Amino acid sequence: MSSVSPIQIPSRLPLLLTHEGVLLPGSTMRTSVDSARNLQLVRSRLLKGTSLQSTILGVIPNTPDPASDAQDLPPLHRIGTAALAVQVVGSNWPKPHYTLLITGLCRFQIVQVLKEKPYPVAEVEQLDRLEEFPNASKTREELGELSEQFYKYAVQLVEMLDMSVPAVAKLRRLLDSLPREALPDILTSIIRTSNKEKLQVIAIRPIRRITHIPGTLEDEDEDEDHDDIVMLEKKIRTSSMPEQAHKVCVKEIKRLKKMPQSMPEYALTRNYLELMVELPWNKSTTDRLDIRAARILLDNDHYAMEKLKKRVLEYLAVRQLKNNLKGPILCFVGPPGVGKTSVGRSVAKTLGREFHRIALGGVCDQSDIRGHRRTYVGSMPGRIINGLKTVGVNNPVFLLDEVDKLGKSLQGDPAAALLEVLDPEQNHNFTDHYLNVAFDLSQVLFIATANTTATIPPALLDRMEIIQVPGYTQEEKIEIAHRHLIPKQLEQHGLTPQQIQIPQVTTLDIITRYTREAGVRSLDRKFGAICRAVAVKVAEGPHKEAKLDRSNVAEGEGCKEHILEDAKSESVSDTTDLGLPPEMPILIDFHALKDILGPPMYEMEVSERLSQPGVAIGLAWTPLGGEIMFVEASRMDGEGQLTLTGQLGDVMKESAHLAISWLRSNAKKYHLTNASGSFDLLDNTDIHLHFPAGAVTKDGPSAGVTIVTCLASLFSGRLVRSDVAMTGEITLRGLVLPVGGIKDKVLAAHRAGLKRVIIPQRNEKDLEEIPGNVRQDLSFVTAGCLDEVLNAAFDGGFTVKTRPGLLNSKL
C-alpha cells in the first residue's frame, strides 16, 4: 500500500465510474452506486463473484454524472485507482441502489476499453512499479530520502494541532505506523483539497508527487486571505461582546485553527463562534417615548383594555425619567380571543422595539429555555438566545405565549428554567447552557400570556406582574367588530364597503345568537363566512339573474337584502324599475344571516329552563371566560340517597352535601317538607342533582348558593326567578363566602340577558371593575348569608317575613 506498489493487479479490470470524489491509494471512500452500468457491475462481479480478484475494481473519476445513463460511454479519465470492495450495502428505497466501501490499492492507466456494456471493462497497465524505472535501485534510494523528508514535514504540521483531540493523536500515531511511501496519498485524501488537485496527484509520478504535496499542505495553512476562519477571527476582534465572552471566543478560535475539518467537533466549534459574533451584545433600538403618540397608537389598535394600556403608558413615563430602567415582567391573563398576543405586538410597535414571539404551549424540556450543553450531538441554544439572534437587538419585546401550558418531563421542568429568565434580579446574568457565558436580559421587555394562573407554578407566578384581561361586553364587541374585524375581513376577501354593509343590529344578532364567548375569535370567523358568501354573489356578476329586495334601504334598521335566485331575465330590470342604482351594497340582515350561517345556535330562552321547581342558574368561571350554569334537582321515593351527576369535582360534591345538610337543619324554618309531609327531607326520599353539559368537568366552591337555591325550590315547590343568577361559597352555618372571577361571571350573566346577579357581600369591591353600561343593565344583590340569597332568588322573598338587612342595589 505504498506509492511504489508491491501489489499485482489483474490486467483486465471492470471500471466503476464515480462522481462523488477521487479515490487515492491507501485511502478509503464510500460511494453510491445508482447508474445502470454501475448496478450491473455490482450485481455481476461483487454479488455473484467468489474469488478475491472479483472484488478488485478499477475506480475512474468521472466528471459527468453517471446517473444520466447515456447510451454512449462518457469520456474517461485515463488514470484511475485499483480498489478493493470491502463492503456492499443495498437498498430499494426510493429506488434500487448500493453503497460501496472501497479501499485504494494502486494506480493504473487504461490501455484500451474492451467492452462498454453491460458495464465497461478495460485492459489496464499498473503504475508505481519499480520495473517502470530504468535504474530501480537508484530510484528506490531517492524515494527513500524524499519520503523521510516528507514524513518529518508531515509530523511538524500535525504537531501544530491540538494533540489533546483524539483524532489528532490518532493521526500522529498513523504517521509512525504507515510506510513512508504511502504518506503522500493518505495525507492528500485527509486534507482539504479539491477533486481537481487530487486528479493532479493521481496523474504524476512518485518522485514528483512527494515534492508536489508539501506545497498543497502549505497552501492549507497559509491561504488566510480567503479563509472563513480568518473572517470569523476578525469579527471576534471587532465585536462588542463582554470581556468574559471575548476570552472564550479567542480560546475557541485558537482550537479551531489547529483542528482538522474532518473532526466532528470542528463544525460544532465553528457554529458556536458564529453564534457568538451574531448575538446583539450591545446593539439596541432607541425607545419612542412620546406618551401622547403612544396613547393614540394603543387606542387605534385596541378598543377597551384600559387597565392594560394604562400600565404600558406608566412604563413609558418612568422610562422617560430613568434611562436604565429594567424591563418589567408582565403577564396578561384572560380568556382566548381577547387580544393578549396582539397587545404584545402593539406594545412593541408603540415603543419602536423589535418583537419576537415564543410559543411555550406543550414545551416539556428545560433545554428549550436554557439550551443544550455543547457536549451533546445536535446541541443548540435555547429559545431565548435564538430569539435574540433573530431580532438582532438586546432590548426587544419577547412574548412568552401560553405560559400556563408548560409541561414537565424527564428532561426537566421548563417552568423552573424560566425562573432565571423572568427574575429582574437575576436575568442580567442569564447563562445559556450552549453559550456557557452570561448574557444580559435586563433590557428585554418580557410579556407572558396565559388563560389561567391556576396551572402556573407559584414561584414563577411570583416573578410576574399579573394584569387581568377580561372578556368583552356586547357593546365593546360591536365596536371592535366595526373598527377592526369587519374591515380586516373585507380586505382579506377583496370586498369594499360599497359591496357589503353589516349594520350594528346585525352584529348584535351574531354576538347574541351565533356566538357566546369572552373574546371575538368566533365572531371574526362568522364575519369571514358572511364575506365568503357575498364574494360568491359579487364574483357571479350582473349577468347572473338575481332579484334583490332592497326595501327600506335608506332606514338602515329593518332593511332586507335578500338574494333570491330567479331564472327570469327581467329580474335585473326589476331592480332598475325601483329607481335604485345598479351597484347597491348587499346589506346583511337577520334573514341573510340565517341563509348564510344557518339557524341561530343559541335560541333557547332561560325562562323556559326555569319553568318548573328545582332549577336555578349559577355563574362559573372557566379559562375561556365566564359562563352561566344550570343546576337541576329532582326527588323520588327511596332510601335517603343523594346522587350527583355532571362530571363534578370533589369540591363541588362537598358543596352539594353542605347544601342538603343546611336545608335539612333549616327545614322547619322555611317549611320545607318531603313528599310525605315530613320535615326530614331525606326520609324515604332520594335526591338527584344534575349539572347539564355532562361532558365538561366542573369543580369549585362557588356553586354552593346555587345548589341551596335549587333544592329550596324543589322542596318548596316554588319557581326561582328566571332573570336571576348567583355565585358564592357556603358554610355549614349558612354564611356566604367570597369567590373569584366576579367580572367574568357578571359579563356572562349580561350576555345571557339576565337582570339580577347575587354575589357574596365581600365581593362588592369587585363591582368597580364592571363596565358602567353593564352595571346599569343589571341589579346586584350582595348577600352575607343564605337567608338573603333565598329572599333575592324568589319573587316576594322566601321566608315568611322578609329580612330588612337585604341589600338590593342597582349600580
Q: Which tens digits make up the pLDDT trace of 332-360?
A: 998 898 889 998 898 898 888 999 999 99
469 pLDDT more than 70: yes
CATH class of 605-793: alpha beta
Distance CA 518, CA 746 (A): 11
User: What's the length of the chain?
Assistant: 811
Give the best-scoring range by mean pLDDT among 15-24, 76-85, 272-281, 313-322.
272-281
> What pLDDT score does 138 carry?
52
> What pLDDT score does 63 carry?
65
pLDDT tens, residue by residue, 490-511: 999 999 998 999 999 999 999 9
CATH, domain 291-468, list 1.10.10.10, 3.30.565.10, 3.40.50.300, 1.20.120.80: 3.40.50.300
Determine contact, residues 670/712, Cβ cutoff 8 Å: yes
108 pLDDT more than 50: yes
pLDDT tens, residue by residue, 525-537: 999 999 999 999 8
Distance CA 775, CA 726 (A): 15
Q: For residue 800, which phi and psi values (nearest 5 degrees)?
A: -65, -40
Every domain of the chain and the residues it spans: 8-128+151-206, 220-278, 291-468, 605-793
pLDDT band at 584 (very low <50, low <70, confident <90, very high): confident
- The percent of residues above 70 in pLDDT, for the chain, comes to 83
pLDDT band at 803 (very low <50, low <70, confident <90, very high): very low
pLDDT tens, residue by residue, 445-455: 999 999 999 89
Chain centre distance of CA 587:
40
CATH class of 8-128+151-206: mainly beta
Q: For residue 104, which phi and psi values (nearest 5 degrees)?
A: -70, 135
pLDDT tens, residue by residue, 253-286: 988 887 777 777 888 899 999 999 999 999 999 8
- Burial label for 152, CB within 10 Å (0-12, 13-18, 19+), is exposed
Instruction: Identify whether 537 is a catalytic site residue.
Output: no
pLDDT band at 688 (very low <50, low <70, confident <90, very high): very high
> What pLDDT score does 640 carry?
87
More confident residue, 695 or 592: 592
> What pLDDT score does 800 carry?
46
The catalytic position among 745, 755, 765, 809 is 745
Q: Find cell 341563509 and name the residue.
A: 595
Closest CA to 470 of 626, 303, 314, 629: 626
Question: What residues have CB less than 8 Å from 723, skipping those under 6 apart?
Answer: 606, 607, 753, 754, 755, 756
Distance CA 635, CA 642 (A): 9
The catalytic position among 5, 27, 367, 702 is 702
Question: What residues have CB less than 8 Å from 63, skipping those under 6 apart?
Answer: 19
- Over the range 176-208, which residues count as b (16 or more CB within 10 Å of their CB) and which as e? eebebbbbbbbbbbebebeeebbebbbeeebbe
Of 135-149, 416-430, 548-562, 657-671, least confident by mean pLDDT is 548-562
728 pLDDT more than 90: yes
More confident residue, 444 or 214: 444
pLDDT tens, residue by residue, 192-214: 667 777 777 777 766 566 665 65
Instruction: Identify whether 91 is a catalytic site residue.
Output: no
Residues annotated within a binding site for ATP:
334-341
pTM over 0.75: no
Q: For residue 141, which phi and psi values (nearest 5 degrees)?
A: -65, -45
Closest CA to 583 of 654, 501, 649, 509: 501
pLDDT band at 805 (very low <50, low <70, confident <90, very high): very low
> What pLDDT score does 216 carry?
57
Determine contact, residues 91/131, Cβ cutoff 8 Å: no
Give the best-scoring range by mean pLDDT among 618-632, 634-648, 777-791.
777-791
More confident residue, 226 or 596: 596
For range 154-171, the mean pLDDT: 72
Distance CA 667, CA 675 (A): 13
Q: Which amino acid, 250? A: V
For range 746-775, the mean pLDDT: 91
Q: State the average pLDDT for the chain.
A: 82
Strand partners, 447: 330, 399
Closest CA to 45 of 82, 14, 12, 8: 14
> What pLDDT score does 662 carry?
94
Q: Is 15 left (phi over 0), alpha (psi -120 to 50) or beta?
A: beta
The set of long-range contacts for 318-321, using a CB threshold of 8 Å and a minimum separation of 24, is 319/287, 319/289, 320/289, 320/291
> What pLDDT score does 617 carry?
93
pLDDT tens, residue by residue, 6-29: 678 888 999 998 887 788 888 888
pLDDT band at 472 (very low <50, low <70, confident <90, very high): confident
> What pLDDT score does 219 carry?
54
For range 686-703, the mean pLDDT: 85
More confident residue, 180 or 343: 343
Distance CA 495, CA 528 (A): 11
Chain centre distance of CA 748:
31
